[in-house]
Structure 1
Amino acid sequence: MRQPYGRAIASTVTYAHPRWYASQGYAVAVQDVRGRGDSTGEFRGFAQEADDGAVALAWVRTLPYVNGRVGSYGFSYQGLSQLLLSPGSPLPDALAPAMAGLDERLHWASEGGAHWWALGLGWALQLAAETVRRAGDETAWRRLRLSLEGGTFLRDGLALLEQHDPGGMGLGWLRLDPANPIGWRRHEPPEGLLCQPMLLVGGWHDPHLSGVLDLRARAHAAGGAPWLRIGAWSHLNWAGGLDRLQLAFFDRHLRDREGLETHPREAVADLGSGSWRGLADGGGEGPRWALRSQGLAAIDAGEGRLLAGGEGGGVVWLVHDPWRPAPGRGGHLGLDAGLVARTDLDARADVACFTSVPLIGPLQLAGRPELELELSCDQDGFDLCGALSVIRQGTAWQLSTGVLRSLGPHCRRRQRRRLSLQPLVTTLAAGEQLRLSLAVSAWPQIAVNPGSGDCPLGPVGPGHRVITLELQLADACLRLLPLDSRAD
């Protein structure tokens, strides 16, 4: 494992301690990457990992007490670092990348044309804190830490990065256009790596899930046969983890031991029942719903309808007041990531809700929710923020969220647009209802759109405008696309 947070931590927030793996007969090496922890040099983020990773892999194979086979594991930064090797370098014999992706724009920094604000800024400041700590600047470290602890980083974090880590990877991402791939790095694994034995790990409430699904699709296209687990997990809460499976995976591919065959190759957790299931029985395109309202779906949370097989219609006006932007909560982009109740958010007059009738029997949903509808705006920029929830015993529990950012004069024209949400697998029980909620902001998960056409980088300011969306429901459609469909 190669990580940037101090090797003694060893990703024990999600994995068993390395000593546990050592007790099972493994030599475990956890390294500080260049410029982090006790390693010398300057930290340059992912750009440095291909060359350094190849050197590390070659070194491990020379240790006198190993059998010559090498496996790699780790999540987040540690997930991508094991996928980056210089061309022609030897490959690991097995790898288990978790919660990572190859595209820095789509899998690490943005969604729907909007920067991850709270997540991206918070992580950039965490990396900056290690930079100033290594430089011996205790005052700067305390400023960064207090900003994160007190939540003021949402307003002053950008200035702190420009002052204390102007060359950092996180600030570099925030300076790029999230709607344009130009300037963004998209990593390419070395030839053959995606055909190696691989265990992919993701979470329904993790922001890197699209990256994991992209890796799965790439591996299959290359002729590989990756293992897959997607839990009802957030980035840091794996609810017991999967160390036993990971041990069996490495035992099979590094030590020729039996036991892995008792586990299914692919399994995902059902957000509704909590049970694990395969992908083959729920990977295709699922049901569709129409949207209908008499124009009161925002003022009355129970008025808008989500119709399975019915005909939609109506117009809804959705007004965003920048003085009190609709908040984002939970999901995969929240600092409070996970399954959350949002009944109070749906009761706001700047949130339009469309709810199905109570189900007469169980309903299984598996895929990437996508909303397609015509809308127009009275300003030169808007955000459309969606949430899919299940209403269970009177409470709306949020299952999936997504954002779409549009900037420019074209926003004023009535156009058909698509909003992609986080993939999910869930089962709704008889009597429960499905709800789609729409708002024009999700602060602080994404920065508040000023309506001027400029790319927002922060909270509300005096120049932010009131934004009114006009939603045309006649041909609006909510559907489920296959899990591995691309959100962009």
Structure 2
Amino acid sequence: MPLRHVRTGPGPVPQHAQQHLVRMRDGVRLATDVYLPEATGTTGTTEITGTTGTTGTTGTTEGDAAHLGAGPGFPAVLVRLPYDKNSRYVYFDKIAALFTARGYAMVVQDVRGKFRSEGQTLPFLREPDDGYDTIDWIIRQPWSDGLVGMFGDSYYGFTQWAAVAAEHPALRAIVPRVTTVNFNATAQSSPDEAVGRPVWLEGIEYYAHFWVDQDAHEYEPDRSLRPVIEQYEEAFRVIGARSAWFDAVAPRYTDLLPALGRHPFDARPVPVLHCIGWFDNIVIPHLRDYLELAARPGWDAVQYLWAGAMDHENYRLEHAPVTAENDHATNEDALARALPDYAHPALDFFDVFLKGTRPVSTLPKVKWQLGHGDWRTATAWPPPEARERTFWLSRPERAPGPLPGGTLTDAPDAPDGGQSRAQWAYDPAAPVPSLAPNSFACLQSYPDLAPVAEREDVLAFSGPVQRAPLDLAGPITLHLYVTSTAPRYDVFAKLLDLSPSGQAHVIARGEVSVRGDLAPEEVRIDLGHTGYRLRSGHRLALTVASSDYPMFLPASGTDDNPWTTLTAKPSTQTLRTGGASPSRLTVSALSQRGS
């Protein structure tokens, strides 16, 4: 069957926005919408000069008298994104209304090579210079007071870090949401690492959809094709163009940060409000960014954290699984209800660090949501009152099969006690299904993972029934004594909430790719951080497997590259626990009650 493909181009510019074609230092023009507070804006499209001082073809110039520092105009909030500044997907015409009502100019730009902007379609590499030049253009406009903040999710969180690296003095605060400074590190790790990251197929596939040319491309690869790389070669043939960045990162590891020049964390510190989601698929690297900066002198004083029980697409746990009534992607009323919670944390932050209309004392250092609970504040993350609690993997002979499976116990076996073990298979021809059709929107579907635990190639363990709530707040780690018949293998771990009805829903997950000849005897798996209430009558549960498809690319079972191998090989993994091999799960909890 021929591959079905849908191409999406730019949407119309809203009447209440003024589009400019802003010239970068190399002459490329980037399409940029400006939204101004009421009675100050005009509509239309003009070409405006950037830092080069060259007049555009329309002969229009603005802001010849540049100024830096608070002036009579408005502070600006800049958003630089690759998803069409005028699309329903990013809904910035509606977000802008909240910002302009608070007295901010909002500037939204298609990044280089996307939608209405000129230039080569290649992510990441030009963002520091383009961010600097755009900020320089903003402060030369008559409506600007010379101060700029930045805001946005995911890739348009990365463009904020790129601008920080460029160190424009007018950039005074950023609000990166569900993002990280180094996206390539989330996709896969170097094959030389003893314990690294499996190939996040869903993440790399993103480049084959959004970074081919100016438009966006939707298609479902023919997943029966081998080698796997041929699935995307077929798509590029149908599209008639290919993704240069996909070619750069698949099927090889590419380190992104050296290409940016200065690492953003080595730049001049600016105030940062990190907005993360406990169910975001890149929560682990985002928390890592926050924790590094919160411990770095010069940066530490201006790091703030906002953490909600939401996923990458801003679906919330209280609505999961999401019904049509609460789906902000398709329902206008749901979007209107969601937008204040989306924008107001940033607006309050900018009121402190751009406008100066609120004292810094009004901002909590950490504001976080306890899933199935309430919103809380703390002086640091993890909350100082959180304590580690360890669950030891026991009765592994019961682990293959349905939940509850083996046990998670509060006390380890005696050090001189016997060791026990369990095995699970990896079959690349029948991988463990991811179930969530899109991990970026995992709470939208919020699948029951109990059926996955019934598979013979999945190990499952469960803790005791909670007699009182257990409030998790902080990091989650898993230490496993594991080996494989394959020279390189993957381990996927998921921490679950097992309800009295038998349904199991994910709390956190982590994964590693292990090189057997270099790996330590004890393999550590980082499951990230969470704020989550395990309610009375529920149980913690854990699953362990060696595939998670199609979210992750199945391992080859050999030393071959999984993208290009024609025949991946099965393998058998062995988990040891007890005695001298204390496999264990460690969580951070506010309460030790209930077990």
Q: If the length of structure 2 is used for normalisation, what is the TM-score?
A: 0.70
Give the conservation status (yes or no) of the 8 Å contact 1:390–1:397.
yes
Q: 1:256 to 1:182 in 2, by over 3 A?
A: closer
Match of 2:570 among 466, 474, 477: 466
Match of 2:142 among 56, 59, 64: 64
- Offset, 1:481: 6.9
- Offset, 1:127: 1.9
Between the two proteins, the alignment pairs up a number of residues equal to 463
**Map 1:86-485 → 2, pairs under 5 A:** 87=166, 89-107=168-186, 112-121=196-205, 123-131=206-214, 133=215, 144-147=217-220, 156-160=230-234, 166=242, 168-177=244-253, 188-189=263-264, 192-193=267-268, 195-220=269-294, 221-224=296-299, 225-239=302-316, 240=338, 241-258=341-358, 261-273=361-373, 275-278=375-378, 279=381, 281=383, 286-293=388-395, 295-311=397-413, 313-330=419-436, 334=439, 336-338=441-443, 339-393=446-500, 394-407=502-515, 415-457=521-563, 463-474=567-578, 475-480=582-587
What is the one-letter code of the residue matched to 2:207?
A: A
What is the one-letter code of the residue matched to 1:406?
A: V
What is the one-letter code of the residue matched to 1:231?
A: G
Match of 2:103 among 10, 16, 25: 25
1:37 match: 115
- Offset, 1:408: 5.4
Match of 1:12 among 75, 90, 94: 90
1:136 match: none
Give the conservation status (yes or no) of the 8 Å contact 2:80–2:108.
yes
Q: 1:107 to 1:190 in 2, by over 3 A?
A: same
SS of corresponding position for 2:98: helix
- Offset, 1:217: 2.6
What is the one-letter code of the residue matched to 1:249?
A: F
Greater mean deviation of Cα atoms: 264-273 or 106-115 = 106-115
**Structure 1: runs of 5+ lacking an equivalent:** 134-140, 483-488
Q: Deviations over 1:179-237 (max 9, x none)?
A: x99988796117554x3222111111223323322332343213232221111111112
Q: Deviations over 1:333-363 (max 9, x none)?
A: 8255234321111111211111111123322
SS of corresponding position for 1:251: helix
Between structure 1 and structure 2, the one with the greater Rg is 2
2:54 match: none
* CA distance in structure 2 between the aligned counterparts of 1:245 and 1:183, rounded to whole angstroms: 32
Give the conservation status (yes or no) of the 8 Å contact 1:176–1:183.
no
What is the one-letter code of the residue matched to 2:370?
A: D
* CA distance in structure 2 between the aligned counterparts of 1:216 and 1:103, rounded to whole angstroms: 13
Give the conservation status (yes or no) of the 8 Å contact 2:461–2:543.
yes
Identity %: 21
Q: 1:336 to 1:468 in 2, by over 3 A?
A: farther
Give the conservation status (yes or no) of the 8 Å contact 2:175–2:273.
yes
What is the one-letter code of the residue matched to 2:344?
A: R
Give the conservation status (yes or no) of the 8 Å contact 2:394–2:406.
yes
Q: 1:15 to 1:108 in 2, by over 3 A?
A: farther
SS of corresponding position for 1:52: helix
- Offset, 1:298: 0.4
Give the conservation status (yes or no) of the 8 Å contact 1:286–1:366.
no
* CA distance in structure 1 between the aligned counterparts of 2:257 and 2:155, rounded to whole angstroms: 22
Give the conservation status (yes or no) of the 8 Å contact 1:387–1:438.
yes
2:16 match: none
Give the conservation status (yes or no) of the 8 Å contact 2:472–2:588.
no
* CA distance in structure 1 between the aligned counterparts of 2:179 and 2:137, rounded to whole angstroms: 24
* CA distance in structure 2 between the aligned counterparts of 1:428 and 1:344, rounded to whole angstroms: 21
What is the one-letter code of the residue matched to 1:92?
A: L
Q: 1:172 to 1:322 in 2, by over 3 A?
A: same
* CA distance in structure 1 between the aligned counterparts of 2:457 and 2:93, rounded to whole angstroms: 41
* CA distance in structure 1 between the aligned counterparts of 2:279 and 2:441, rounded to whole angstroms: 10
Q: Deviations over 1:91-142 (max 9, x none)?
A: 4122111122222332455694212112321x112223544x4xxxxxxx8x
SS of corresponding position for 1:2: strand
Give the conservation status (yes or no) of the 8 Å contact 1:129–1:145.
no
* CA distance in structure 2 between the aligned counterparts of 1:58 and 1:51, rounded to whole angstroms: 10
Q: If the length of structure 1 is used for normalisation, what is the TM-score?
A: 0.84
* CA distance in structure 2 between the aligned counterparts of 1:60 and 1:10, rounded to whole angstroms: 25
Q: Deviations over 1:317-337 (max 9, x none)?
A: 111233321112449x82552
Q: 1:390 to 1:198 in 2, by over 3 A?
A: same
SS of corresponding position for 1:233: coil
* CA distance in structure 2 between the aligned counterparts of 1:95 and 1:181, rounded to whole angstroms: 21
The alignment yields a C-alpha RMSD, in angstroms, of 3.3
Q: 1:215 to 1:335 in 2, by over 3 A?
A: closer
What is the one-letter code of the residue matched to 2:250?
A: L
Q: 1:74 to 1:109 in 2, by over 3 A?
A: farther
Give the conservation status (yes or no) of the 8 Å contact 1:286–1:365.
no
What is the one-letter code of the residue matched to 2:491?
A: L
1:137 match: none
1:52 aligns with 2:159: no
* CA distance in structure 1 between the aligned counterparts of 2:231 and 2:475, rounded to whole angstroms: 32
- Offset, 1:13: 5.4
- Offset, 1:30: 0.8
What is the one-letter code of the residue matched to 1:223?
A: G
Give the conservation status (yes or no) of the 8 Å contact 2:83–2:90.
no
* CA distance in structure 1 between the aligned counterparts of 2:119 and 2:309, rounded to whole angstroms: 38
Give the conservation status (yes or no) of the 8 Å contact 1:34–1:41.
yes
* CA distance in structure 2 between the aligned counterparts of 1:182 and 1:79, rounded to whole angstroms: 15
Give the conservation status (yes or no) of the 8 Å contact 2:95–2:343.
no
1:486 match: none
What is the one-letter code of the residue matched to 1:322?
A: P
Q: Deviations over 1:249-308 (max 9, x none)?
A: 212222221377555331122223254453453675511111112523103533411011
- Offset, 1:452: 1.2
Q: 1:219 to 1:91 in 2, by over 3 A?
A: farther
2:156 match: 78
